[in-house]
Each structure stands twice: as structure tokens, then as C-alpha cells.
């Protein structure tokens, strides 16, 4: 398919952005009804949570695939290509399949519009994914919630094999509520009658809300926060890691026991202790499937899949850059912990872009603990916090940030600070050891390919 046709498909989908992001299931139910309710034919593992749900989805998907099953994955947002959002057995939806599924969804959406109500963009994308999965008939589908849970369009499913809730933190408070119990109630909305629930939530009040929802729906709950995990000490990265384009972060190794079944020596490539938490959450779901006889686990292939599972833009090293889509205060604190753990004697220059509707003061307060070299830029969304406003806060903290409206230029400036631009004089003028790109998945998405290209050029 030629590029103009590809662009046309995505442009038609983006038309629905004008209807905003509106929670509620009435529109998606009507849309799916017009399409023959394809979601009813799918075996779904449904994943919600403030942070970590993308990584948990990836661990679950790869673990099940390693057992020889076909798995569909619906996730958001995308990092490099739009089609990443809809995958089957590790492959993005083809342009031809996207066109065919989109055409059917557009026709149904037009019928709704003629009756005075149009679906939102996320509802359209969800419908495309579910229709595609019904056509391809995978053994399982892993659905990542877009926002909240109760009123999210993925919650159009009426039953699931397992509902997973990864974490509860303050985010999207204007939509989900200002307290952790209120937010937990929205996330717990994905729990279905009699369907098992896997949860890994630290806050006890939030957990009580989820447990009550599970109890009222007769849904057995597995609390993974009570599972004992032994994680081998995570050492610092090699001091020359950023001089080697192929250099990688150390593997993390842990052991645990779930439901009487030992999981010794699990290795994961996704960096950070928080990814151990995500992996253990995924293991809770896998163990339920195994105990029910829904899947058969091959230990060797399973371990290989857990080790090879990767999620772009989650503390990801590309050449001299670390990319992390930390987009709320809790995620930024986790990032700061990882920076201190892996690079205790190295200083980053931070390329920072934040959305205005986040708790930006707390996020920037954590950023200044990581470095005094910060370039503030646009994140790449209509909800951007202005770089000038970010700079004003940082200056009040005694930091002298650099303002650069263009994210690509901001990355070039960061490269200069690390002495890696071709026109530079090696280490002359070097003020940082590596580049940390963070604050928003929008920003990381925009800069990831540029980081790849710059790294590829350094290999030549």
C-alpha cells in the first residue's frame, strides 16, 4: 500500500479526535452492536492501572506466546508507529487489514453520526482492534485500558478470563477523582462477575475498594503485593556503557513463589526494580491460566520469553540516550531511583517535556534531583506545558534551564552537551555523560526514531 493511502487511513481515524476523550460505554456499545459485537467472541485478559500496565501487558503477551498460543495485543499510546497499537503474535496489524477493519468501523460510525451521536477517536480505534481480532481469531487477546477502567471503551467486553490492576496513583484526577480510593473505584470497574482479579496495589485504602468490588461480583482476588520476591542486587551499569552503541543495561534476576509454584531465576531485560513488580503481576495472571488448565507452561520457553520481553520507552537505552515515558510524579520518582541505581557516578542532560494537566511541579522537583542540566521543550501534544512556564519553575529552584521549543533541536543541543555532535571537538565543552529524555510518552515517541538514527550514524 502506498504512503498516500496509509496517510488517508490515519487521517480518517484522526477526524474523530474532534469529539474529545469522553468516558462512558453508551457510544462504544452502540458502535460494537452495529459491527455484530465482535468482542463477545474473544478470550480477553484486561489490564488497568496508573503505571506499569503496558509492561504487564507485554510480559503476559510474550509469556503466553511462548507456550505456543496466538495472542492479540491492544495497547496505547504508540511510540514509533501508529500500528503498534494493534498487534498479533508480535506483528503490527498490516495496512491492508487496518484498511479493511477501518472501513467497516467508519461505516458504522457514520450511521451513528447520522443519528446524532459520534464515537470518539479512542472508541473508533478500540472497535477496529476488536473487529480485527475477531477476524484473526487468536487464542487470547490482551487489552490495555486507555483511561481509568469503568468508562473506558475497552470495558465494552462483558467478561474476561482475568482482570489485572497494576497500580493506583494520582493521575487524570479531573476525570477519575482526586483521591486514591476514588481512582481505585474507576480502575476496579473492569472487574467482571465471577472473573478472577490480579492486583498489585500498595495503598491499602485503594486496595480495599478493589477488594470490595471483587467481593460484590464474586470475583476471586489474588493480591500480588503479598507475594514474597527475592531480587538479586542490581549493580551499576558499566561506566563506558554510553560510549558503546551496543551497550546494554544489566539484566534483573528474581525468584518468587505463587500459589505453591516456584519461579526460580527469572531474568528480565526491562530495567528497574519496578519491572520486577510488573513481571510478578504478570506471573499472577499466568499462574491463574495455568492452574485452570487454560494454558500449558513450558518452563524453558517461558523463561526465555520473560527475558526477551521489551517495552519501548521504559528506561530504554538507545546509544547515548535513556528514554523513559515517565508522565506522572510516581513514574518520575521511579525513574530517579533507576538513574541513581544504574548510573550513580554519571550526570545526564535532561530533555524534558510535560503535559500541563499533570502535577508538573512535583515532576520537575524530581527532575532537578537528577541533574542541573535541563533543556525544556514541547512534549508534542495540544496539552503541552509551555517551556517558558517550565523554565520559570526551574529557575525558582536555582536551575538555569535551556528553553528550546523544537524537541528535535533540543535533542541536538543535548548531544552537543555530551560532546557527541559531529561538529564538536570530542569532550571539549562536555557538561554531561548521557541524555535522559522524559516527562511524556508524546515526547519520547517523537524523539525515539531520531535517537535511533543518531546512534546508527555513530556506528558508521
Of 176-180, 269-273, 319-323, 417-421, where does mean pLDDT reach its minimum? 417-421
Buried b (16+ CB within 10 A) or exposed e, 188-217: bbbbbeebbbbbbbebeebbebbbebbeee
pLDDT of residue 106: 98
Residue 103 makes CB contacts below 8 A (sequence gap 6+) with none
Q: In this structure, what C-alpha cell is assigned to residue 194?
A: 465471577
Mean pLDDT of 322-331: 95
Task: With a cut of 80, say whether residue 71 has pLDDT above it.
Answer: yes
Is it the case that residue 46 has pLDDT exceeding 90? Answer: yes
Q: Where are the domains of the chain?
A: 3-308, 316-459
pLDDT at 441 over 80: yes
* For residue 422, pLDDT beyond 70: no
Averaged pLDDT, 272-281: 95
Distance from C-alpha of 192 to C-alpha of 188, rounded to nearest angstrom:
9
Hey, what CATH topology would domain 316-459 get? 3.90.190
- Mean of the pLDDT values across residues 245-267? 93
Tens digit of each residue's pLDDT (9 = 90 or more) over 113-123:
999 999 999 99
Which pLDDT score, from 0 to 100, does residue 420 have? 73
| Whether the Cβ atoms of residue 170 and residue 251 lie closer than 8 Å to each other | no
Q: How confident is the model at residue 172 (pLDDT cuts 50, 70, 90)?
A: confident
Closest CA to 217 of 182, 188, 177: 188
pLDDT at 44 over 50: yes
Q: Is the pLDDT of residue 428 over 60?
A: no
CB within 8 Å of 246: residues ≥ 6 apart: none
> How many Cβ atoms sit within 10 Å of the Cβ of residue 134?
20
CATH number of the domain located at residue range(s) 3-308 in this protein = 3.40.1190.10
Please, what is the average pLDDT of the chain? Answer: 94
pLDDT for the residue numbered 424: 45
Amino acid 429: pLDDT: 63
SS (H, E, C) the chain: CCHHHHHHHHHHHHHHHHHCCCCCCHHHHHHHHHCCCHHHHCCEEEEECCCCHHHHHHHHHHHHHHCCCCEEEECCCCCCCHHHHEEECCEECCHHHHHHHHHHHHHHHHHHHHCCCCCCHHHHHHHHHHHHHHHHCCCEEEEECCCCCCCCHHHHCCCCCEEEECCCCCCCHHHHCCCHHHHHHHHHHHCCCCCCEEECCCCHHHHHHHHHHHHHCCCCEEEHHHCCEEECCCCCCCCCHHHCCCCCCCCEEEEEEECCEEEEEEEECCCCHHHHHHHHHHHHHHHHHHHCCCCCCCHHHHHHHHHHCCCCCCCEEECCEEEECCCCHHHHHHHHHHHHHHCCCCCEEEEECCECCCCHHHHHHHHHHHCCCEEECCCCCCCECCHHHHHHHHHHCCCCCEECCCHHHHHHHHHHHCCCCCCCCCCCCCCCCEEEEECCHHHHHHHHHHHHHHHHHHHC
Q: Is residue 423 predicted with pLDDT exceeding 60?
A: no
pLDDT-derived band at 368 (thresholds 50, 70, 90) equals very high
Point out the least confidently predicted range of 56-65, 133-142, 169-178, 301-310: 169-178
3-state secondary structure 181-198: HHHHHHHHHHCCCCCCEE
Across residues 61-77, what is the average pLDDT?
A: 96
Mean pLDDT of 1-29: 92
Respond yes or no on whether the N-terminal peptide bond of residue 3 is cis (omega within 30° of 0). no
The pLDDT, as a whole number, for residue 9 is 97
Predicted pLDDT at 20? 78
Q: State residue 13's pLDDT score.
A: 97
Amino acid at each position: 500500500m502506498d504512503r498516500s493511502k496509509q496517510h488517508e487511513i490515519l487521517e480518517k481515524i484522526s477526524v474523530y479526535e474532534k469529539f474529545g476523550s469522553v468516558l462512558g460505554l453508551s457510544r462504544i456499545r452502540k458502535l460494537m452492536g452495529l459491527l455484530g459485537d465482535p468482542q463477545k467472541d474473544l478470550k480477553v485478559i484486561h489490564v488497568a492501572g496508573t503505571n506499569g500496565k503496558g509492561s504487564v501487558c507485554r510480559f503476559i503477551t510474550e509469556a503466553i506466546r511462548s507456550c505456543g498460543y496466538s495472542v492479540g495485543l491492544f495497547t496505547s499510546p504508540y511510540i514509533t508507529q501508529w500500528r503498534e497499537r494493534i498487534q498479533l503474535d508480535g506483528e503490527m496489524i498490516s495496512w491492508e487489514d487496518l484498511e479493511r477493519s477501518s472501513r467497516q468501523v467508519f461505516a458504522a460510525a457514520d450511521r451513528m453520526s447520522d443519528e446524532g451521536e459520534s464515537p470518539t477517536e479512542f472508541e473508533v480505534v478500540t472497535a477496529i482492534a476488536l473487529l480485527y481480532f475477531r477476524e484473526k481469531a487468536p487464542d487470547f487477546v490482551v487489552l490495555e485500558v486507555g483511561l481509568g477502567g469503568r468508562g473506558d471503551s475497552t470495558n465494552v467486553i462483558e467478561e474476561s478470563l482475568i482482570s489485572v490492576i497494576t497500580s493506583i496513583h494520582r493521575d487524570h484526577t479531573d476525570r477519575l477523582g482526586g483521591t486514591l480510593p476514588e481512582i481505585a473505584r474507576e480502575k476496579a470497574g473492569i472487574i467482571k462477575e465471577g472473573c478472577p482479579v490480579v492486583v498489585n496495589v500498595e495503598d491499602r485504602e485503594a486496595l480495599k475498594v478493589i477488594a470490595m468490588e471483587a467481593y460484590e461480583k464474586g470475583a476471586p482476588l489474588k493480591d500480588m503485593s503479598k507475594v514474597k520476591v527475592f531480587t538479586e542486587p542490581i549493580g551499576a551499569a558499566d561506566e563506558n556503557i554510553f560510549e558503546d552503541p551496543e551497550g546494554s543495561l544489566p539484566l534483573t534476576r528474581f525468584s518468587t513463589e505463587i500459589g505453591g509454584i516456584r519461579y526460580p531465576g527469572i531474568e528480565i531485560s526491562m530495567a528497574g526494580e519496578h519491572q520486577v513488580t510488573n513481571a510478578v503481576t504478570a506471573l499472577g495472571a499466568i499462574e491463574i491460566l495455568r492452574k485452570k488448565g487454560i494454558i500449558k507452561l513450558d518452563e524453558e520457553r517461558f523463561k526465555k520469553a520473560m527475558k526477551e520481553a521489551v517495552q519501548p520507552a521504559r528506561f530504554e537505552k538507545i546509544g547515548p540516550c535513556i528514554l523513559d515515558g515517565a508522565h506522572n510524579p510516581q513514574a518520575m520518582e521511579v525513574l530517579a531511583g533507576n538513574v541513581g541505581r544504574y548510573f550513580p557516578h554519571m550526570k545526564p542532560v535532561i530533555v524534558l517535556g510535560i503535559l500541563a494537566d499533570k502535577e508538573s511541579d512535583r515532576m520537575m522537583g524530581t527532575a532537578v534531583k537528577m541533574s542541573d542540566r535541563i533543556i525544556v521543550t514541547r512534549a508534542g501534544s495540544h496539552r503541552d506545558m509551555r517551556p517558558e512556564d517550565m523554565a520559570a519553575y526551574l529557575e525558582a529552584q536555582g536551575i538555569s534551564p535551556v528553553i528550546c521549543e523544537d524537541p528535535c533541536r533540543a535533542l541536538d543541543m543535548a548531544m552537543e552537551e555530551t560532546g557527541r555532535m559531529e561538529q564538536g571537538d570530542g569532550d571539549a565543552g562536555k557538561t554531561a555523560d548521557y541524555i535522559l529524555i522524559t516527562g511524556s510518552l508524546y515526547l519520547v515517541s517523537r524523539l525515539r526514531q531520531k535517537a535511533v538514527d543518531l546512534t546508527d550514524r555513530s556506528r558508521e
